[in-house]
Structures are given as structure tokens and as C-alpha cells.
A and B are shown apart, each in its own frame.
Chain A
Amino acid sequence: MKVASPEIVAPDNRAAEQQPHWRQEFPIDLPQDDYRSRRDFTKLMVITSFAFFVGQAWIVLLSRLRRARGEAPLKDIAAVDELSVGGAKLFHYPGPGDASLLVRISERQFVAYGQKCTHLSCPVIPKPQAQRLHCPCHEGSFDLLTGQPLAGPPRRPLPRILLSVRGNRIYANGVQQGVV
């Protein structure tokens, strides 16, 4: 019959001779088991730490790419008389995949914002009567005049598209992140 080594400590702390037969055949050294599981968990935390560093490096890379893209181009997006007061137009700026919204809020005032909600990127819907841009996914709302979040889960403002009016044409000429 196999007898467990005296160094091995069973989970119930009793002597090896008092252990059931199966445990004498397959002894479990509890302190050693604890030691190994903690060491392995430490290894997992170090891997997690590496993953966080990779995430930080990814942000640096995105930041560099954003800078390399340079200034957003000047783009003709609509005619002044194309929109009635309270009307909205969807356009793409600065890139072809960047959906944005142009809204006419008065006879002489236009505003434009990126259409992606800053919560989870759902497209926002203009509600000029309520002076809001509404996100239907999680009932988020943004102020139509400033792009600031007013209600729901979004915490960051919508990116504002800078506009200029020349003659009868409206041009987009830049994107302002984090409008205050």
C-alpha cells in the first residue's frame, strides 16, 4: 500500500495514515496546490498588464494616424436654400464613411455634427422642435446648439463639423472634437 509522504498536507490537516484509502493513493498537497494556483494567477495578471500596455500603444498609434491625416478638407455639402428651417441633411465628412448631419436651426444658422452617438455609435436623429439630437438605441440626447450630452448614457459631446457659408453654398471645413 502506498503511504502519502509526510511533507504532504491533506485538506483536512489529518495525518496521512488517517486519510481515506483513495487519498493515500492520490494525495493532494493543499499548501502546494494553493501556492501553484496563486503563482498561476500572478502570471495571468502579468499577461493582463501586458494587454493594457498594448491597448495604450494602440491609442498612441491611433493618435499618430489622426495627426498624419492632417486638416480636414473643405467640402461643399449643401445649398443654403436646400434646407427649410428645422430641416436636416445627411452627408459624409471628413471621410466617405463618416456620416454627419447638417441641421438648419434658423433662417441664418446651421449646425453640423458627426452622426455617431458617443455612447455606442448608433446614428443620432435630429429633433429640431425639441432642440435636440436623439439617440434611439439607449434614449440619449444631445443639445442641438452645442452638441453637449443632455440625457441618457452619452458622456461626451458629438464631434462638431465646422461650417462656412459662401454665397448660396454651405461648406464643411473641419472637425472639432470635444466641443465645450
Chain B
Amino acid sequence: MRIANFSRSQRMAIVQGILCIVSIIAVMQLWLFTTTMEAYLSGEESFVLTAAAASLVCLGLNLGLFHYLRALDR
């Protein structure tokens, strides 16, 4: 990935922005996990696979953002 040569303050703003987004996504995954576990224990299993797919998408987003962050340091 080709990254523009950002100044130090710009990189700081970028890492803070990415940290916020990654944290929000992780909290969403936590909510998804607890809801799915609650439903599974109550015998409701119809959306277990969909929830896992949504969690995978969230993980993909987080990995993508982290990959960008690593590219920023090179």
C-alpha cells in the first residue's frame, strides 16, 4: 500500500481516528457475541451463522484498518 508522507501530527490524528473506529467495531462485536450467546442458550439458533458472518466482517474491517496503520509506519 502506498502511503503519503504524513507529518507526525497528521499520523497522530490518523492513529487516533483508527483507534476510535476499531474500538467501536470491537464493542459492536461484544454486543453481537453476548446477544448470540443469550439466544443460543435460550434455544434460538436461527441467526447464529449470520451473526458469525457479521463478526467476521467486523474483524476484516479491523484487520484492514490495522494493516493501513502498519503501512503508515513504514
Contacts and interface: CB of A to CB of B under 8 A. Distances in A.
Chain A contact residues: helix, strand, loop or mixed: helix
A118 B40 CA distance: 12
Interface residues of B, number: 39
B44 to A, nearest CB: 6
Given A46-B22, A60-B52, A53 B59 contact: yes
Interface stretch (A15-23, A33-41, A69-77, A103-111): A33-41
Interface of A: 31-32, 34-35, 38-39, 41-43, 45-46, 48-50, 52-53, 55-57, 59-60, 62-63, 66-67, 118, 156-157, 159, 176-178
Given A34-B12, A53-B52, 11 more contacts: A31-B9, A35-B8, A35-B15, A42-B15, A42-B69, A46-B65, A49-B62, A56-B56, A63-B48, A63-B49, A177-B42
The 3 closest A-B pairs by CB, nearest first: A177-B43, A52-B29, A178-B43
27 contacts: A31-B12, A34-B12, A35-B11, A35-B12, A38-B16, A39-B15, A42-B65, A49-B62, A50-B59, A52-B30, A53-B58, A56-B29, A56-B32, A56-B51, A56-B55, A59-B33, A60-B48, A62-B40, A63-B40, A66-B45, A67-B45, A156-B38, A156-B41, A177-B41, A177-B43, A178-B42, A178-B44
